[in-house]
């Protein structure tokens, strides 16, 4: 059995570690934070997982929070006209429900579980020298340390990275006592899109202490109307500003925040980062190579909720590639090929879809959303594809193909209506 070292205990690193352990591979996971430190940390994300990523966790027996609180079964989108007015509403149901679990409860539980399943966990912050030592010790070293560690180890891929600055300023908060924003007959993510200003979302969320609550993410276009959280000092101020946003942009949701508040001082965040795709193979000073995974190499803005999902999919793909590779050496060529296969099958669609949502909607996409507000199957398709962005292609790039898709869905709905009458 191959001996594999994984640096970083986030979604990418942990998922890969569990998948490898399920096949008996010796795995050592290096984490710079202990379970207690992770549990007590500030939130780092809003954590929504779509169907396939949830399924991977289910298959590995890691779905400890399933059945506690609401799983989301779809999406409910309001598009504002002028701020404060609703121009359009689209909703739809997904085939496989998703959920959002506080990473501060998920990763500590998983770290204990990994050791129980025979994995070795080493609590140590790795630096470049540490990576050199690991590259000598393990047959393969996978670096999954997220967006901030080891700057320069994985070179920016300019061709695949259109952004040179943050596209959105981010704010997130976990809320208690809030009435859900979705008006669907099933639990759903709520999206409010304010063209020219940005977007905000609410989702059912499993809080580390309180269990089922709600999480909100704001994606503010820098300098525009939603961009008012950057200098907030505490939870009360964050929440007051959120109420202000809802009052100004979607007053039909305002009363649902009555009596609500942020759960505690470590459950809100503000920030921003530049989305970036990096080359997947990092070369150490000695010439040895390590493989990057997750945000370390494919870093997208969270507007489409893809980061954790992409990390899970990439970990799953890497696990399969390791298994298929048998006893052969993990060469640089193998690393390049394995990563490129994932990019071509999934990564490029995840990234393109995210970047599409960061840009003003094209006329044919506006047409699609208009049609989806009336044709049920198009609303379902729109939200179901968030978990599988490759399914938006090729039609989403073409006005003609989008039009054909709309016409076909409308015909099918008329036929179904006539059949049902």
Ligand X SMILES: Cc1cc2nc3c(=O)[nH]c(=O)nc-3n(C[C@H](O)[C@H](O)[C@H](O)COP(=O)(O)OP(=O)(O)OC[C@H]3O[C@@H](n4cnc5c(N)ncnc54)[C@H](O)[C@@H]3O)c2cc1C
The contact set with ligand X (CB under 6 A) reads 7-13, 30-33, 45-48, 125-126, 144-146, 149, 170, 172, 217, 294-295, 302, 305-309, 311
CA 154 – CA 282 distance, rounded (Å): 5
Q: Which is nearer to ligand X, 298 or 371 (CB)?
A: 298
Q: Which is nearer to ligand X, 170 or 262 (CB)?
A: 170
Q: Which is nearer to ligand X, 74 or 302 (CB)?
A: 302
Q: How far is the CB of 41 from ligand X (least distance, A)?
A: 9
Size of the chain, expressed as the number of residues it contains: 421
Residue 132, token pair as written in the block:
């050199």
Q: How far is the CB of 148 from ligand X (least distance, A)?
A: 7
DSSP-assigned states of every residue in 57-122: HHHTT--TTTTSSPPEEEEEEEEESSTT-EEEEEEEEEEEEEEEB-HHHHHHHHHHHHHHTT-EEE
Specify whether the CB–CB gap between 95 and 129 falls below 8 A: no
Q: How far is the CB of 83 from ligand X (least distance, A)?
A: 23
Q: Which is nearer to ligand X, 347 or 368 (CB)?
A: 347
DSSP-assigned states of every residue in 191-257: EEEETTTEEEEEEEEEETTTEEEEEEEEEEPTTSTT---TT--SHHHHHHHHHHHHHHH-GGGGGGG
Residue 238 CB-density burial (10 A; 0-12 exposed, 13-18 middle, 19+ buried): buried
Residue 146, token pair as written in the block:
């997220």
Q: How far is the CB of 337 from ligand X (least distance, A)?
A: 21
Q: How far is the CB of 393 from ligand X (least distance, A)?
A: 20
Q: How far is the CB of 394 from ligand X (least distance, A)?
A: 24
CA 143 – CA 237 distance, rounded (Å): 37
Q: Which is nearer to ligand X, 214 or 309 (CB)?
A: 309
Q: Which is nearer to ligand X, 170 or 371 (CB)?
A: 170
């Amino acid at each position: 059995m191959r001996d594999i070292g994984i640096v970083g205990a986030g979604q990418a690193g942990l998922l890969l570690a569990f998948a490898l352990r399920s096949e008996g591979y010796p795995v050592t996971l290096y984490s710079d934070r202990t379970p207690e430190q992770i549990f007590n940390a500030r939130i780092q994300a809003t954590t929504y997982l779509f169907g396939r990523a949830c399924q991977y966790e289910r298959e590995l027996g890691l779905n400890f929070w399933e059945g506690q609180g609401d799983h989301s079964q779809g999406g409910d989108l309001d598009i504002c006209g002028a701020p404060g007015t609703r121009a359009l509403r689209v909703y739809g149901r997904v085939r496989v429900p998703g959920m959002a679990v506080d990473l501060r409860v998920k990763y500590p539980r998983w770290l204990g579980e990994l050791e129980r399943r025979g994995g070795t966990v080493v609590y140590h912050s790795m630096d470049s020298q540490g990576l050199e030592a690991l590259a000598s010790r393990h047959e393969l070293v996978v670096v999954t340390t997220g967006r901030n560690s080891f700057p320069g180890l994985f070179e920016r891929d300019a061709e695949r990275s259109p952004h040179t600055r943050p596209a959105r300023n981010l704010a997130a908060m976990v809320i208690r006592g809030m009435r859900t924003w979705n008006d669907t007959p099933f639990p759903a993510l709520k999206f409010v899109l304010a063209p020219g200003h940005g977007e905000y979302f609410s989702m059912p969320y499993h809080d580390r202490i309180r269990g089922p609550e709600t999480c909100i993410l704001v994606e503010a276009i820098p300098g525009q109307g939603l961009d008012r959280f950057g200098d907030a000092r505490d939870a009360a101020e964050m929440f007051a500003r959120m109420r202000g946003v809802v009052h100004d942009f979607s007053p039909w949701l305002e009363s649902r925040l009555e009596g609500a508040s942020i759960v505690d001082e470590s459950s809100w965040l503000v920030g921003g980062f530049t989305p970036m795709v990096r080359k997947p193979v990092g070369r150490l000073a000695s010439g040895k190579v390590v493989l990057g995974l997750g945000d370390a190499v494919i870093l997208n803005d969270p507007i489409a909720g893809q980061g954790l999902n992409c990390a899970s999919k990439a970990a799953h793909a890497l696990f399969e590639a390791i298994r298929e590779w048998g006893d052969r050496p993990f060469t640089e060529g193998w690393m390049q090929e394995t990563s490129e296969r994932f990019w071509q099958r999934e990564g490029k669609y995840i990234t393109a879809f995210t970047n599409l949502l960061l840009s003003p909607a094209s006329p044919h996409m506006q047409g699609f959303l208009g049609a989806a507000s009336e044709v049920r199957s198009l609303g379902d398709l729109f939200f179901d594809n968030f978990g599988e962005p490759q399914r938006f292609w090729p039609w989403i790039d073409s006005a003609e193909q989008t039009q054909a898709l709309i016409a076909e869905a409308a015909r099918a709905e008329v036929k179904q209506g006539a059949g049902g009458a």
